[in-house]
Structure 1
């Protein structure tokens, strides 16, 4: 039996419980934390892959399991090969290869010495009693909240998410959802912050007993009952039966930016404003705010409809000339580049490596973190080693095993010392989730510095994981620090190319930085992932736009078709129409973006940009105030709002906003400084006119 820490066993048990309840997202989150502890432990790997499989991310499951010979992993790998072979993204040759890989995996599993050679019916016939239970209250509340979010009833969703966390604080995805919907429903000053939700248990107050009411199956075997009966006349009636012929009983690309170099690079930046860092307030009630938003979106849609009708009457016979072409043809350069991607041993010198880093002075210090005091360590052993705590000499090991492996009578006997260390392991998991929740909350409210500092508390294994790296990349992206964000995204994609949660943002970041080769590679990799075609279309669209192809809009439309519920592709399609000078279509896409996610500042800002370009500054101002409310620290939103206020001659407000924008930006403040000077000049002119008027 392989030794497993209490905290690892806690994560293992909680994840399996979530799988049984159907809460696959929370199970995946917990399994990721378990996988980060030890990426080579077969049982951890299997649970992580199983959660990916249940989340329908078959390509990720396939990528994770490829190198493992553990019998459960081989079985799940074969199932994944079948699922992938059903995808229309693959040609017949690729499907044949996948099916052959599945066959090889199962043949290897059947030849394994670990596979029992006989059936142990004791295991087969007791599986119902071991795993049978009702869904937990927390899982039911979490699922109910998802339904209310889909119904746009944010207050009801928040109510049940809090109820979920009150019942089970290990449901961290419920807290993440609260952060996502917070701008329209939650005042975090009057509700609970992560440290109040994910607090440690007090050992004497923890109930470690099992529920004996429904742990066993509700139906107990009875020797005197029989549910299956057979007719004794079957042979006599066989001749009357009419019979007929139908009756029958990846590849990773090489990279020279390491995790330890990213740790040195960050160096506590960018320096954001701290005037209201700890005052996260949301005073608007959900019902009134949603009513206002719905009214605004409805008015915009009506205006778009009227404009389309007017334009239709101006065209010949009132008809638009639309060329339908749903076929996607990938640019030849995107395909040709693949020939050089698979060579992992070849050093690349491309435009991807334009970030200046003194590699000679970078000390090996583990995953990317904030700059700390340098520690000289051996070249071949630079990662800090964890000291395993052993309690075999302190507690009764049999007492510990009896707790985690229940006997047939379902009675639990656990010593006082064992109970102490069980609760200690539970609390370590709780502390880990608390740090993750704090990081997600600060990222959701666009406090980049606080998110970086909070996640800095994680150990190297947890920090150097794709979810954490993508959270940090997204935090920097939302401050327009694209260079730093790109390195975090790049590191995450390097160590886990199957983790595509922020691949769309990553591709847009590369578009801003004009890194064509790296974006080409990303698009190529995503194109061969049938489980993330939404991200693949967006990445290819951004690459086409960068290289001045005319197919970017086509890819954005394909992304929308693959998942109409997500707002990001609508936003990109809107900006693409702005670049083409088609303001009407741009407004239509931004309106759909706002409907898909009313709490996405990009949709409101995009719509405001359309009105600003049309010199309709009053309408633009209303929309920009909402974008500013949703993201009060985005320098582009602030500078645009200041410009609109300047056009409306609201110089006092414009001055405050533009100064805030300058304070946030770390570079490229020339335009804001010019705007500030113009505002100050107009203010002085107005003040002079008022004084002259007074004298007269």
Structure 2
């Protein structure tokens, strides 16, 4: 049987959010079960229960609980949880459908400045939904729609970094300076903040109080309306204060940083109902205490011509005006300027009476609230308060003379602060009236918890600094995603040293060095990351590959043991172990480790690529093809997978197919000289030396000092020899000799070129150097020296090494 007390459900919701905010998800799930049992059809209860299951990783349970409301599109919170569960369960179409059906509830929301230390939003806004839709469409395979939704998320909120990463991963051309800039909402808030500061400077400052909550209101679901200035107050964070000085709806002066705004009850706002697409009040909050409207200054003056409101009472104990609308108020834990001291429960103590005349009626609550909300030390304000007090006394005398009887009168008098009739109340209500209020406890907070006020200029400067930081980091990340490694390094170098020495920035700098084949520099950067954040697992597979290229077997084995001790379920750990086995020539064990990594994360494309490399070493080409195709399926822009496919087809003699896959990899990473050299090698084997020469020249121009550039220059010289251009080949080899003086193959090719141009002296000298550098190549060298006097018409001989 459901409890008769309507305050049970709001209290349960407060307990749930308390546990969620403190990462006590299991406790939150238990309490959410109690709340769901009270009202199984309530959308908020279903949302909280599904949310707890989602936080615990129970995707199937979150899917089942939120499905009914999500499919109908009647509750935004359920639709969002359902879509997240669908993303994890690979039910992408269902998640997209649920979010689209609830579009009317999130399309116009923008919460970028509504989250702070004291304000929350438990349902998503348009930017969050757009980002989730982008992920769903990407997983579904429609990359164009995924990019459109990610761009829409960034347009609504430029701080949606994951949407920016998704855009970079899709290969869409971007300009970070156009993305990370102030939106019209930010500019309007800053303008409103500047205007309100100018108004405050022209007025006399008033005493401010700390914003607190009352026990009758749910702090996570405050009863507010869309025009309530309270939606823009209450937070000490940057974004909350940006929207915190908007003018009030009634045209009065804006509230100060610590004022508690008066709220109107029963408005259909997102804070009352977490996402239910129903009209009116949800019925889960406790009934508000009977309150009276706060009067304006004109209404409190004795000679005011404002019409009097005729107040009636309903059977449910709420004050109702003649038009039938309910009114509420929020009790403020402040001390009035006229020495009206109150107890914890809000009553006037016997020792300090606010009425010197014992026969006079108690003061009206509206006058007390007015004196508390608008305190002032000026003489005019004191006169207004006295006039209002005398007016209230006359009105209360008239009301007392009418002899109103019944339950509604008792409730009204109890709420107004009188102690009469409290003994006749029910025990449960009496206990609630004796309980100390949250407002009274919060009012005792030390003064140091109040953040100092920051002016509009400082707010604008701080927000612009954050956007500039995002733009620099975004530019570096975008350039790295396009494999423009030099530009990425320059962008990361422009970041301040405090930001640059963080693990995220350092890991991307290390990956940029790795893509440039600068393995020594990459090792230094990753070693720094291990000192700063030894528990970091991201990008450690790249670090292990760097050590593999440097042939540091001991360091790689030590890194593997460290990673596996930290997290045995991390795919990066198993990739490091696999690289360690591969370096020791144990390819079978390496394949097992890479398979384990792909089992832990089926979307880890790099592990599939490493697995394919090991199959190639074992000459298991069918298995290698399958591994590379899995890598491409996990990430279509993973150029290593395309390169692996081209490598397999080249070994199988299918040069035309190999060229196609090499060119696919080149389109993704156009700055990698290895890919360009592979295209040239395949073209040369297909008897297309002119086309191959173009590729070799391009590879040499990308990075003339790199290790692979020397290899490409060597291939270029051989291609020139095949084209019977020995002088051009000799020029290339002379440059290459200075870059690699200890290469036996370079000296062997120089001997052949001098033999062609009939320079026997230099030919014999270079043949002799090649034989001394590589004694195993002596038979090939001697064969060329024996036919030194003959014409060398065979230009297609392979190198000696």
In the other structure, the counterpart of 1:676 is 716
Q: Residues 611 and 617 of structure 1 are in contact (CA less than 8 Å); yes or no, is this contact kept in structure 2?
A: yes
In the other structure, the counterpart of 1:553 is 591
Equivalent residue for 1:568, pick from 606, 612, 616: 606
Aligned partners of 2:165 and 2:56: how far apart in 1?
17
In the other structure, the counterpart of 1:152 is 141
Q: What are the equivalent positions in structure 2 for 1:675-694 lying under 5 Å apart?
A: 675-684=715-724
- Cα pair distance change 1:420/1:460, threshold 3 Å: same
Q: Residues 700 and 710 of structure 2 are in contact (CA less than 8 Å); yes or no, is this contact kept in structure 1?
A: no
Q: Residues 642 and 653 of structure 1 are in contact (CA less than 8 Å); yes or no, is this contact kept in structure 2?
A: yes
Aligned partners of 2:122 and 2:230: how far apart in 1?
11
Q: Residues 134 and 214 of structure 1 are in contact (CA less than 8 Å); yes or no, is this contact kept in structure 2?
A: no
**Deviations, residues 431-450 of structure 1 (Å, cap 9, x unaligned):** 11111100100111111111
Aligned partners of 1:421 and 1:215: how far apart in 2?
31
Shift in Å, 1:591:
1.3
Aligned partners of 1:634 and 1:502: how far apart in 2?
20
Equivalent residue for 2:176, pick from 194, 201, 204: 194
Q: Residues 605 and 627 of structure 1 are in contact (CA less than 8 Å); yes or no, is this contact kept in structure 2?
A: yes
In the other structure, the counterpart of 1:216 is 271
Q: Give 3-state SS (helix, strand or coil) of 1:498's partner.
A: coil
**Deviations, residues 396-422 of structure 1 (Å, cap 9, x unaligned):** xxxxxxxxx99xxxxxxx999722222
Aligned partners of 2:230 and 2:550: how far apart in 1?
56
2:123 corresponds to 1:131:
no
Equivalent residue for 1:141, pick from 130, 134, 137: 130
In the other structure, the counterpart of 2:673 is 635
In the other structure, the counterpart of 1:658 is 696
Q: What are the equivalent positions in structure 2 for 1:373-392 lying under 5 Å apart?
A: none
Aligned partners of 2:122 and 2:600: how far apart in 1?
36
Shift in Å, 1:161:
0.5
Shift in Å, 1:615:
1.4
- Cα pair distance change 1:210/1:506, threshold 3 Å: farther
Q: Residues 201 and 427 of structure 1 are in contact (CA less than 8 Å); yes or no, is this contact kept in structure 2?
A: no
In the other structure, the counterpart of 2:511 is 474
Equivalent residue for 2:641, pick from 595, 603, 626: 603
- Cα pair distance change 1:201/1:593, threshold 3 Å: closer
Shift in Å, 1:141:
0.8
Q: Residues 133 and 214 of structure 1 are in contact (CA less than 8 Å); yes or no, is this contact kept in structure 2?
A: no
- Cα pair distance change 1:586/1:204, threshold 3 Å: closer
- Cα pair distance change 1:214/1:480, threshold 3 Å: farther
Q: Residues 537 and 570 of structure 2 are in contact (CA less than 8 Å); yes or no, is this contact kept in structure 1?
A: no
Q: Residues 500 and 532 of structure 1 are in contact (CA less than 8 Å); yes or no, is this contact kept in structure 2?
A: no
2:582 corresponds to 1:542:
no
Shift in Å, 1:653:
2.6
In the other structure, the counterpart of 2:406 is none
- Cα pair distance change 1:473/1:55, threshold 3 Å: farther
Shift in Å, 1:674:
2.3
Aligned partners of 2:540 and 2:712: how far apart in 1?
31
Aligned partners of 1:54 and 1:519: how far apart in 2?
36
Q: Residues 486 and 509 of structure 1 are in contact (CA less than 8 Å); yes or no, is this contact kept in structure 2?
A: yes
**Deviations, residues 69-95 of structure 1 (Å, cap 9, x unaligned):** xxxxxxxxxxxxxxxxxxxxxxxxxxx
Q: What are the equivalent positions in structure 2 for 1:9-24 lying under 5 Å apart?
A: none
Aligned partners of 1:163 and 1:500: how far apart in 2?
31
Q: Residues 133 and 215 of structure 1 are in contact (CA less than 8 Å); yes or no, is this contact kept in structure 2?
A: no
Q: Give 3-state SS (helix, strand or coil) of 1:539's partner.
A: helix
- The TM-score, its normalising length taken from structure 1, stands at 0.50
Shift in Å, 1:620:
0.3
Q: Residues 569 and 600 of structure 2 are in contact (CA less than 8 Å); yes or no, is this contact kept in structure 1?
A: no
In the other structure, the counterpart of 1:646 is 684
Aligned partners of 2:537 and 2:145: how far apart in 1?
30
Shift in Å, 1:650:
2.7
Q: Residues 522 and 539 of structure 1 are in contact (CA less than 8 Å); yes or no, is this contact kept in structure 2?
A: yes
**Deviations, residues 494-524 of structure 1 (Å, cap 9, x unaligned):** 2112222111111011111011122122111
Aligned partners of 2:512 and 2:484: how far apart in 1?
8
Shift in Å, 1:224:
8.0
Aligned partners of 1:210 and 1:473: how far apart in 2?
47
- Cα pair distance change 1:681/1:140, threshold 3 Å: same
**Deviations, residues 616-653 of structure 1 (Å, cap 9, x unaligned):** 10110111110110111112111111101111233333
**Deviations, residues 645-670 of structure 1 (Å, cap 9, x unaligned):** 11123333322211121223423344
In the other structure, the counterpart of 2:168 is 179
**Deviations, residues 176-208 of structure 1 (Å, cap 9, x unaligned):** 2111111xxx2x2xxx41001112468753367
In the other structure, the counterpart of 2:67 is none
2:712 corresponds to 1:667:
no
- Cα pair distance change 1:541/1:204, threshold 3 Å: closer
- Cα pair distance change 1:490/1:420, threshold 3 Å: same
